[in-house]
Structure 1
């Protein structure tokens, strides 16, 4: 669904409300129906609740699902001349990584943001980029050589000549109902496209990439864990048993993520997933996306559990798109020191206001923009840029610096935030 189609009928929990209702731990806590003093739901709530189930019925019975593939496909060789992953930190002793999300429109706004980002990338010696999903609007590619890859990714990003770590969004896995996330098999086309693109990096539907600290085979400085969140956050129920919320695909992905985070010796660990854990934009947070409070899919309740039980307290950052806003949320006791970023304003924007109150270092709900992550041996910095579409110029709006990784202790990820005029 597009960002302007659904507005949550009521807020999810604030940080204080979460603290009062939290049980022994995320695995044991009950899912609250909402704040005890919340007003009665709007008249449209029941209709929305029914819609989540009804759309999985007759309207979706004819969705064309492709043949199932292994949960993690073997990486394929890239195109000749493919841009290489960085093998050592840049001149400042850190990796500089461009962060974008929800970019794939091919419209003027996308071109303006990438033009502004390209200028920043040159100045900051960016060697890697991340695309946080919704890579091909509105319903994903029709094949692995669809012309939309050129129209909505290659041409707009000309000049940002680095590998792009790509994740799947709900619009990449849709089909008959754009944005529904109801046809995950379409994501296999984006994995296959990586074999022919110099920029697009997606060796599997979920994967990890570690960047070395000094160009050697020693412990990594930063490691990225790219997830496919669609089967546990789709607007419709999945009809292919392989992609059920509790089916083999999600069970294997959870096992992989748990093992990969356990095995990682990286100083900084960054999880990439299209759908956010926490979010102050109108899509809301996992467990109550778009006001849905029940069901195994639309609410994102099982993604919430995945983040809380596997990611929080073990990764330094969760980076997400989905909401067309820019947010640098604060790490808290709830997240056990893990910080949530929302960066989905590379081609579309939000409605200009916050819908929820999760603690934030900085946030913007009305402007286009992107972020740059800088990971060094002693600190990690997040620069947030807003973009003036008319002039195609970026402005550094905020900088947050984190001095210690989450591994040093829950809450240790909190850093200083600086607003930039």
Structure 2
């Protein structure tokens, strides 16, 4: 959820239980069982605010009917999509250049300004691949695989960044009754379906891997990206569909896949990309204590922390995440066993300007829009962090991080 959104008053509520809480919680922070004198009639209720948001989103989804119908007709025709191809060899300098963005899909001035600034940098740096770290369509995700918001909040702003975009699902892409709750993971299937009709959007499944080769006949890949769906184990409400529960078939299948894929990978650099971070100094906090919660199967993200620590840490070089509207290049910790957390969620929204935790950091920014560019070769990985002035749509490189030793080389 975003900096200006609600978080549950206690962990492991269903969306209906949250909506049925007494309106007094909005102004007093207390449930109906704790009446407070003078609370009645004060403020606007959670049900009113969130119900209005859901109704408004549904109404907006009906407006661009002509555009939706045209896109649906193209999809129904069965015509193959001329997709931008994945890069097949490193660039002239021996590196792949990759744009990294997150939490972009607002459709607001900031998103368009960040995309314009990134477009200029991509041209200069020879970017051949981009990554979208979730929350691709605020606030509720797509209403269908042909929702016009795919155009206004992805295709249009990113015109000119004509490369494949490795996309992952964010909590807003999987909204249920409550925007950003992650309460209906099945909605993510609409984004997978959209990938079949878009030249840019690359999402062959809800979780998948993509390897970039060293070149024809040159052996092991330079880098492999492992895109994961973190929503069922990081939602702010209890999952009601047994398939998507934290311990249900979907997460068991995904865990087995990720474990096997990391084991089988021969890539020099292994990078896991998922919306929710493992470590984080921003407002939302780290997995296991999201938004200050430390109990329950949901809300806190405790089972996502387990997934990271038991399957990813010590095996992947980086975890790339959005969710928090900040940019952070954090240092590995004893728990992460050499795996480094990168947070980049400022392409459409920005944070509150201050740190909320003290995880060791190489560099971090909590109050500006921006993006990152990663350059990766067999012998070196570099990340350049950029901030963007929205008024002028100009980017400034503010930090460079370089590593010359992948975990695989050190093991």
Decide: shared fold, TM above 0.5.
yes
> Displacement of 1:331 after TM fit?
1.6
Tell me the residue number matched to 1:22. none
Q: What is the rounded CA distance, in whole Å, between the counterparts of 1:59 and 1:355 in structure 2?
A: 28
Work out whether residues 233 and 300 of structure 1, in 8 Å CA contact, stay in contact via their aligned partners in 2: yes
Q: Does structure 1 residue 53 correspond to structure 2 residue 54?
A: no
Q: Residue 209 of structure 2 aligns to a residue in which SS?
A: strand
> Displacement of 1:194 after TM fit?
0.3
Q: What is the rounded CA distance, in whole Å, between the counterparts of 1:58 and 1:400 in structure 2?
A: 42
Deviations 1:182-203 (A, max 9, x none): 0001000000000000000000
Tell me the residue number matched to 1:309. 310
Work out whether residues 194 and 200 of structure 1, in 8 Å CA contact, stay in contact via their aligned partners in 2: yes
Q: Residue 260 of structure 1 aligns to a residue in which SS?
A: helix
Deviations 1:249-288 (A, max 9, x none): 0000000000000000000000001000000001000000
Tell me the residue number matched to 1:399. 400
Q: Does structure 1 residue 253 correspond to structure 2 residue 254?
A: yes
Q: Does structure 1 residue 130 correspond to structure 2 residue 90?
A: no
Tell me the residue number matched to 1:165. 166
> Displacement of 1:172 after TM fit?
0.1
Q: Residue 53 of structure 1 aligns to a residue in which SS?
A: coil
> Displacement of 1:54 after TM fit?
5.1
> Displacement of 1:406 after TM fit?
1.1
> Displacement of 1:48 after TM fit?
2.2
Please show how residues 66-85 of structure 1 align to structure 2 within 5 Å.
Answer: 79-85=80-86
Q: What is the rounded CA distance, in whole Å, between the counterparts of 1:349 and 1:253 in structure 2?
A: 31
Unaligned runs of 5+ in 1: 8-46, 64-76, 411-421
Distance 1:408 1:266, change over 3 A: same
Tell me the residue number matched to 2:409. 408
Work out whether residues 174 and 182 of structure 2, in 8 Å CA contact, stay in contact via their aligned partners in 1: yes
Q: What is the rounded CA distance, in whole Å, between the counterparts of 1:409 and 1:334 in structure 2?
A: 17
- Which stretch has the larger CA shift, 216-225 or 346-355? 216-225
Please show how residues 124-273 of structure 1 align to structure 2 within 5 Å.
Answer: 124-216=125-217, 218-273=219-274
Q: What is the rounded CA distance, in whole Å, between the counterparts of 2:112 and 2:79 in structure 1?
A: 25
Q: What is the rounded CA distance, in whole Å, between the counterparts of 1:391 and 1:342 in structure 2?
A: 24
Tell me the residue number matched to 2:63. none
TM-score with structure 2 length normalisation? 0.84
Q: What is the rounded CA distance, in whole Å, between the counterparts of 1:55 and 1:83 in structure 2?
A: 39
TM-score with structure 1 length normalisation? 0.82
Unaligned runs of 5+ in 2: 21-53, 55-77
> Displacement of 1:49 after TM fit?
1.8
Q: What is the rounded CA distance, in whole Å, between the counterparts of 2:198 and 2:132 in structure 1?
A: 14
> Displacement of 1:4 after TM fit?
2.8
Q: What is the rounded CA distance, in whole Å, between the counterparts of 1:206 and 1:225 in structure 2?
A: 8
> Displacement of 1:6 after TM fit?
5.7
Q: What is the rounded CA distance, in whole Å, between the counterparts of 1:6 and 1:177 in structure 2?
A: 9
Q: What is the rounded CA distance, in whole Å, between the counterparts of 1:300 and 1:210 in structure 2?
A: 28
Work out whether residues 233 and 303 of structure 1, in 8 Å CA contact, stay in contact via their aligned partners in 2: yes
Q: Runs of at least 4 residues of structure 1 off by over 4 A?
A: none
Q: Does structure 1 residue 366 correspond to structure 2 residue 327?
A: no
> Displacement of 1:407 after TM fit?
1.9
Distance 1:330 1:185, change over 3 A: same
Please show how residues 14-25 of structure 1 align to structure 2 within 5 Å.
Answer: none
Q: What is the rounded CA distance, in whole Å, between the counterparts of 2:227 and 2:258 in structure 1?
A: 9
- Which stretch has the larger CA shift, 240-249 or 330-339? 330-339
Work out whether residues 140 and 175 of structure 1, in 8 Å CA contact, stay in contact via their aligned partners in 2: no
> Displacement of 1:175 after TM fit?
3.2
Work out whether residues 317 and 338 of structure 1, in 8 Å CA contact, stay in contact via their aligned partners in 2: yes
Work out whether residues 115 and 392 of structure 1, in 8 Å CA contact, stay in contact via their aligned partners in 2: yes
> Displacement of 1:377 after TM fit?
1.5
> Displacement of 1:56 after TM fit?
5.3
- Where is the helix percentage greater, Structure 1 or Structure 2? 2
Q: Residue 105 of structure 1 aligns to a residue in which SS?
A: coil
> Displacement of 1:161 after TM fit?
0.2
Tell me the residue number matched to 1:279. 280
